[in-house]
Amino acid sequence: MEFDLISRIRDRAPRRVDVVLGIGDDAALLQVPSGMQLVVAMDTLNAGVHFPAAAAPADIGWKALAVNLSDLAAMGAQPAWCTLSLSLPEAASAFVDGFLDGFLELAARHDVSLVGGDTTRGPLSICVAVHGLVEPGRALRRAGAGVGDDVWVTGTPGDAAAALAALQAGAAVDRALRARLDRPTPRVAAGRALAGIASACIDVSDGLLADLGHVCAASGTGACIELEALPVSKALTRFRPELRWPWQATGGDDYELCFTAPAAQREAVATALAATGEIGATRIGRIETSTGVRARSPDGTPWTPAMPGYRHF
Ligand code: ADP
Ligand code: MG
């Protein structure tokens, strides 16, 4: 069964010219371009935690790769290759076929080759590793935010959290919101464009305030966010505008980029992002000396979320 599944995967996996040896040997052999740094990230998705157990296999496949590409985007890296470890309760070839539909659709969009992996029997769990490339010195890190820097976010945070809350409440979910939860868009082009411009960057997986907190901790700074400045989607505004801020500030799963840049780079940020045609970004706050992340209501008073970002433990 295992070998049948592996050959199903191999037969569909695309292959870049820099894949010297792909699926089928003991390991893959990849040609790293000279003068580039290799960027490596890995993320695991467990049924019931990272996706509903009943989620469509194609959506699970998409998301498994998307969350990984999002990590490369947050580093300013160009994705190149990935590996896939599948733990499956049974030899579910229908599941694997559906999974690959979503996984390989996203892989094709970013010219990412699936070059290997592992297939075992066990509780449904998916582990993906991605490998990307970045010019030396240009990678975006969490450390690097300077006091006085602007804080930016791409896209419209909060949509995925709204969709998840609706699903959990058994309420009808707007299709646009649902798509942002099931098929997040890794901001790869934006990350590439910001490399060399942004001072620090992170992708928003656990919640804007929580993830910005990681940037601040790594940078030895704090930050203040203006809630009023948070860009909001039409779909979220239509759905439950009164819950906008908790979802936008603390909801996870958006996979937008939160980054910082000196005020002198405002033009450069806007121009670089516009050139990608992918997504714009909005200034939402400022890096400050005093540690921790604060959020301010439109009337200027401090705003405290009822729940901080998602924690696994
Ligand atoms: P080994 O015992 O050497 O680990 P495997 O039987 O696990 O060999 O894998 C054989 C080949 O198939 C290897 O090239 C491996 O990378 C690839 N492979 C196994 N599972 C997957 C998967 N889920 N996705 C992609 N490639 C896989
Ligand atoms: Mg193996």
Q: What is the pLDDT of residue 77?
A: 98
Quick one: which H or E segment has residue 75? helix 57-75
Model confidence over 241-281: pLDDT tens digits? 999 999 999 998 999 999 999 999 999 999 999 999 999 99
Model confidence over 201-240: pLDDT tens digits? 999 999 999 999 999 999 999 999 999 999 999 999 999 9
User: Dihedral, CA atoms, 46, 52, 55, 59, nearest 10 degrees?
Assistant: -60
Which of 23, 29, 120 has the most ligand 1 atoms within 8 A of CB, as the residue to mutate?
23
**25 CB contacts (<8 Å, ≥6 apart)?**
none
List the single range of 50-59, 94-103, 152-161, 290-299 with lowest mean pLDDT. 50-59
Ligand 1 in reach of 267 Cβ (< 6 A): no
Report whether 202 contacts 74 (CB < 8 A). Answer: yes
DSSP letters spanning 246-259:
HHHHH------EEE
Q: What is the pLDDT of residue 312?
A: 46
Report whether 237 contacts 244 (CB < 8 A). Answer: yes
Mean pLDDT of 104-113: 98
Report whether 243 contacts 165 (CB < 8 A). Answer: yes
User: What is the C-alpha to C-alpha distance for residues 150 and 264, in angstroms, rounded to an integer?
Assistant: 10
Which of 25, 104, 119 has the most ligand 1 atoms within 8 A of CB, as the residue to mutate?
119
Q: What is the pLDDT of residue 33?
A: 97
For residue 134, what pLDDT band results from cuts at 50, 70 and 90? very high
Ligand 1 in reach of 118 Cβ (< 6 A): yes
List the single range of 15-24, 48-57, 252-261 with lowest mean pLDDT. 48-57
For the beta carbon of residue 15, count every other beta carbon within 10 angstroms.
13
Ligand 1 in reach of 11 Cβ (< 6 A): no
Q: What is the pLDDT of residue 4?
A: 87
User: What is the C-alpha to C-alpha distance for residues 142 and 219, in angstroms, rounded to an integer?
Assistant: 7
Mean pLDDT of 280-307: 94
Ligand 1 in reach of 7 Cβ (< 6 A): no
Residue where the block lists tokens 């998301």: 63
* Helices first, then strands: H and E counts in the chain: 10, 13
For the cut 60, the answer to whether the pLDDT of residue 59 exceeds it is yes
What percent of the chain is modeled with pLDDT above 90?
Answer: 88
**259 CB contacts (<8 Å, ≥6 apart)?**
140, 151, 152, 153, 194, 198, 199, 200, 201, 202, 281
- Taking CA atoms only, the protein residue closest to ligand 1 atom 10 is 24
Atom of ligand 1 nearest to the CA of 2: 6
User: What is the C-alpha to C-alpha distance for residues 207 and 184, in angstroms, rounded to an integer?
Assistant: 14
Q: What is the pLDDT of residue 51?
A: 81
Mean pLDDT of 128-140: 98
List the single range of 50-54, 158-162, 178-182 with lowest mean pLDDT. 50-54
Model confidence over 168-192: pLDDT tens digits? 899 888 999 999 999 999 999 999 9
For residue 313, what pLDDT band results from cuts at 50, 70 and 90? very low
User: How many angstroms separate the alpha carbon of residue 117 from the centre of ligand 2?
Assistant: 7
Residue where the block lists tokens 């699936």: 114
User: How many angstroms separate the alpha carbon of residue 90 from the centre of ligand 2?
Assistant: 17
Give the CA radius of gyration of the chain. Answer: 20
For the beta carbon of residue 87, count every other beta carbon within 10 angstroms.
17
For residue 42, what pLDDT band results from cuts at 50, 70 and 90? very high
For the cut 80, the answer to whether the pLDDT of residue 306 exceeds it is no
Per-chain mean pLDDT for the chain: 94
